């Protein structure tokens, strides 16, 4: 009786009624499995049939629907008498562990690939028949190929919209003579707050606004700490932009995300005034949003700049006439700015009596939403290909 015939019968039908018979039966099956594997390894397989031959042996034993182990599970294990269940279960688990050597990747690795000489090898049909005769299991024949079907192409990726906008902003400021500076995303409380003139009583230092790692370490809430590090490293004069990720304790919604992207700019030199800041940001807005856009500055407050301001642009959707995006005001607020506070300059090792400077900060995600008319910031971080492939 062949192995296929035995695994298609139950143990009572095979006359097995005791543990020794179960062990002998499983030993016979395991020997057959290992023998077929050893025979395939000793023979090898030609390159053109190598994977197919390995898969045929794997499917013969491990296929879920009609593999020998699946039939053995159905007829021997599940149908075993109650008194033989423990012995059958133990032997079956041992056989299943041993069958790991028949996994496709393992067979492909261990079965030798036989070289073929293109000038001497027989036609496909003859080669398949001769190989089939030498093996104890069936190899599927060649599948007819439709040469009119299009070939397989690996789809090309593209830049994420956040990356596109960030690089566009960087290019504008690089053209103005700024350079890019980076810093750590895990930051000390000193660089994130103290050196920037943010007092301990400021709401931004509370647990419900800032993500603390420990009492002295935070996930940076803005890229401003790099301003202090750059001042300490380079001194003055200094013209840099600082792109990077920031983190705040915000609940995600259409306009908020606990992780977002920011770009800050810093210019320090002698005789720098607020007029230089206004001219630079007006030039940047026209380069990014178009020559027709207008800018508006109005007073605000930030601990690290004095005086401080908010920058708004004329609505790019309605031309300043008023719409749902600008809330009928005709203006959209896009960034904060101001002259660098003397305390911040001093903390960075720069003499505020000799040098002055200005700084600004903008959200890259916010600029991307305006540029591409996107109304939900979460779309940038959900990895939905249907959304991303539009860019």
Q: Tokens for 150?
A: 């299009």
Residues 334 and 311 sit within 8 Å (Cβ to Cβ): yes
Are 173 and 251 found together in one domain? yes
Domain count, the chain: 2
Instruction: Report phi then psi at 170, rounded to 5.
Output: -60, -40
SS3 235: coil
Residue by residue, DSSP assigns 74-87 as: IIIITT--GGGHHH
Are 72 and 204 found together in one domain? no
Q: Average pLDDT over the chain, rounded to whole?
A: 87
Are 232 and 101 found together in one domain? no
Sole residue written with tokens 């019968």: 9
As a whole-number percent, the residues of the chain with pLDDT over 90 amount to 48
Tens digits of residue pLDDT in 256-268: 899 999 999 999 9
Query: 276 lies in which domain range?
Result: 161-388
Positions of the chain with pLDDT under 70: 116-146
Closest by CA position to 127, among listed 50, 233, 41, 34 = 50
Are 183 and 63 found together in one domain? no
Tens digits of residue pLDDT in 80-100: 888 888 888 889 889 888 888
Residue 149 lies in a domain: no
pLDDT number for residue 133: 58
pLDDT number for residue 43: 81
Residue 375 lies in a domain: yes
Question: What is the Cα–Cα distance from 316 to 334, expressed in whole angstroms?
Answer: 12
The answer to whether the Cα torsion of 173, 175, 181, 182 is positive or negative is positive
Burial class of residue 46, CB neighbours in 10 A (0-12, 13-18, 19+):
middle
To 10 degrees, what angle do helices 19-43 and 85-98 make?
Answer: 10
Residue 265 lies in a domain: yes
Cis peptide before 344 (omega within 30 of 0): no
* Parallel/antiparallel/unpaired status of strands 179-180 and 238-247: parallel
* pTM, 2 dp: 0.61
Are 190 and 318 found together in one domain? yes
């Amino acid at each position: 009786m062949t192995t296929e015939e035995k695994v298609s019968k139950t143990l009572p039908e095979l006359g097995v009624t005791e543990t020794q018979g179960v062990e002998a039966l499983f030993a016979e099956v395991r020997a057959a499995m290992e023998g077929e594997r050893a025979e395939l390894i000793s023979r090898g397989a030609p390159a053109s049939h190598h994977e197919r031959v390995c898969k045929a042996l794997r499917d013969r034993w491990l296929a879920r629907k009609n593999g020998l182990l699946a039939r053995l599970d159905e007829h021997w294990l599940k149908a075993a008498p109650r008194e033989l269940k423990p012995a059958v279960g133990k032997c079956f688990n041992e056989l299943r562990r041993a069958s790991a050597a028949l996994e496709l990747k393992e067979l492909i690795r261990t079965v030798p690939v036989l070289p073929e000489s293109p000038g001497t090898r027989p036609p496909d049909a003859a080669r398949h028949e001769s190989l089939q005769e030498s093996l104890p299991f069936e190899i599927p024949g060649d599948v007819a190929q439709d040469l009119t079907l299009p070939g397989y192409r690996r789809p090309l990726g593209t830049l994420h919209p956040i990356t596109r906008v960030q690089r566009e902003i960087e290019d504008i400021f690089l053209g103005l003579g700024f350079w890019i500076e980076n810093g750590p995303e895990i930051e000390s409380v000193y660089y994130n707050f103290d050196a920037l003139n943010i007092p301990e009583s400021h709401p931004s230092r509370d647990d419900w606004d800032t993500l603390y790692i420990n009492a002295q370490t935070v996930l940076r809430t803005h890229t401003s700490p790099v301003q202090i590090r750059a001042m300490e490293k380079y001194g003055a004069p200094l013209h840099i932009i600082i792109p990077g990720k920031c983190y705040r304790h915000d609940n995600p919604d259409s306009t908020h995300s606990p992780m977002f992207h920011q770009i800050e700019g810093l210019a320090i030199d002698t005789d720098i005034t607020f007029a230089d800041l206004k001219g630079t940001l007006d030039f940047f807005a026209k380069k990014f949003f178009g020559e027709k856009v207008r800018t508006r500055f109005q007073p605000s407050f930030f601990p690290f700049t004095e005086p401080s301001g908010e920058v708004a642009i004329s609505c790019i959707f309605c031309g300043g006439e008023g719409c749902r995006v600008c809330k009928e005001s005709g203006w959209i607020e896009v960034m904060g700015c101001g002259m660098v506070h003397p305390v911040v300059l001093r903390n960075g090792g720069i003499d505020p009596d000799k040098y002055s400077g200005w700084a600004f900060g903008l959200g890259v995600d916010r600029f991307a939403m305006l540029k591409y008319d996107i109304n939900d910031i979460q779309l940038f971080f959900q990895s939905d290909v249907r959304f991303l492939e539009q860019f």
